[in-house]
Structure 1
Amino acid sequence: MIRGRLTVGMVVGCTVTPLFDALAAFHRSHPGVEISLLEDNSDRLIEGVGDGTIDLALVGTASAAPQGLDTLTIISERLVVAVPAGHPLAERERLRLRDLAAYPIVCMPPGTGLRTVFDQACAAQQLQPVIALQATAADAIADLAARGLAVGILSASMAARYRDRLIARTVEDLAAPALLALICKNPRSPAVRELLVHSRQAFTAPDGRQAAARLR
């Protein structure tokens, strides 16, 4: 039986029932391991895994493999623009990043995977959109966008949850995916290795598809 302590990080505002399932299954199998769970922005979680203060973390990232860390990708999907019916962008079938320049943006804050992907795409074209509003929860971004306060930037799966009040449009030059991934530095640690086993099981549905989780 494994004993010791395991520190697990989770990106702030992320709804990740499969991770909780994995932690519960791990606890049942190894009750001698004390589990600590903390929330933070992805960039700080990556730093914590890198310096060894966090054993394993679920993060949003723009990179398939943060340097020096082992990575298990859970979700990979592109970002979309989310606007209410009647918004000028809702009437357009084809959008490019420069088309967003005339509108304020509501997005997740720096340090999250979605924001990193968006910022990198804009920087590559030397665009500086106005980030008027920031929120860590998809519900808040959707609510603000639905009220017409700003154009929402969400992942495709997030936007699908709000199709009753928002119209999602893909952006042709915002194709780089945002990722939700489990990262660790020492996969040979017995506790980390066992938690990864439970995580793979929890995040994979019986038919082989990835279980639901929401990207941040």
Structure 2
Amino acid sequence: MELRQLRYFVTVVEEASFTRAAARLHLAQPGVSAQIRQLERELGQPLLDRSGRSVTVTEVGEAVLAYARTALGAVEGIRQTVDEFTGLLRGRVALGLVSGASIGAFDVPALLADFHDDHPRVEISLTEDTSERMLAALCDGALDIAVIGLAEEDPLPGIALQILIDVPLVAAVAPDDPLLAPPGRTSVPLAALGDRPLISLPRGTGLRGVLERACAQAGIRPRIAFEAAAPPVLAQLAARGLGVAVLPA
């Protein structure tokens, strides 16, 4: 078993294609296929299912994948340790970000640009997704760091957590909404939203998780009428009287 075989295997899984994996690795596709078949022969089990239009991982391959990523990560860690002694920092950092996180308190483009200026040999990748999927990506090694919204303070074992910002949720409504009566009212009980159409982030986001948990504790079933990935869009929908938007303050 060779490290390059593990690297080829992981790349094919990530690309779901031998052709795309070969292009990413800057290699000929037959060579990548041959090395993975050699790895499968050595292990005595197929790691990839080649029968469909895209390449998928078998049950055995799924179990092997975590170890392959760990092995490649260990080798990269050795290289980085040696580089630190020579004053050279390089590698790859995969960052995940919930939609809208770069608005307001977080200037993510500036942060990444400054990091790139300080460490030009470090490859940075950035993706946006739901908190739920990014937690899974952290667990299987596809992401190194994720800025997410959380419904629980301890989401998963093995995940280190640092709170960057903690803000209350608010109900945003149109100026003439009955929830604002009497004038000067600044808060409403959650039960008051039980029969109202709600506007929320999609399922799998931290905000949605907090909303659903709070509603369950209050004994009400939220009626989600509109979903959008960006909080400003939720506010715009509420401003036009389409429902009550649940937003970070």
The TM-score bracket by the shorter chain reads 0.5 to 0.7
Residue identity matched to 2:209: T
Structure with bigger helix share is: 2
Find out whether 1:50 has 2:143 as its counterpart: no
In 2: Cα distance, 1:44 partner to 1:60 partner: 12
1:157-201: CA deviation from partner (whole Å, max 9, x where unpaired) = xxxxxxxxxxxxxxxxxxxxxxxxxxxxxxxxxxxxxxxxxxxxx
2:212/2:222 contact within 8 Å kept? no
Between the aligned partners of 1:135 and 1:72, the Cα distance in structure 2 is 26
Matched, 1:154 2:247: yes
Runs of 5+ consecutive residues of structure 1 not aligned to the other structure? 157-216
- 1: distance between equivalents of 2:218 and 2:161? 29
Richer in strand (by share): 1
Structure 2 counterpart of 1:112: 205
Q: Please name the residue that 2:25 is paired with.
A: none
Structure 1 residues 1-216: aligned runs within 5 Å: 1-16=88-103, 17-67=106-156, 68-92=158-182, 93=185, 94-156=187-249
Taking the aligned partners of 1:128 and 1:98, their CA distance within structure 2 comes to 10
CA deviation after TM superposition for structure 1 residue 105, in Å: 0.6
Aligned residues: 156
CA distance in 2: counterparts of 1:7 and 1:79, whole angstroms: 29
RMSD: 1.5
Structure 1 residue 48: deviation in Å?
0.6
Structure 2 unaligned residues grouped into runs of 5+: 1-87
Provide TM-score, normalisation by structure 2.
Answer: 0.59
**Deviations 1:103-142 (Å, cap 9, x if unpaired)?**
1111111111111100000012221021111111122111
CA drift at 1:21: 2.4
Give the counterpart letter for 2:174 in structure 1.
P
- The amino acid of 1:46's aligned partner reads L
Shift of 1:63: 2.3
CA-CA distance at 1:27 after TM superposition: 1.0
Structure 1 consecutive aligned stretches of length 4 or more whose deviation exceeds 3 Å? none
TM-score under structure 1 length normalisation: 0.68
Report deviation, 1:4.
Answer: 1.4
Distance across 1 between alignment mates of 2:115 and 2:176: 49
Asked whether the 8 Å contact 2:89–2:121 carries over to 1, the reply is yes
* Shift in Å, 1:81: 0.6
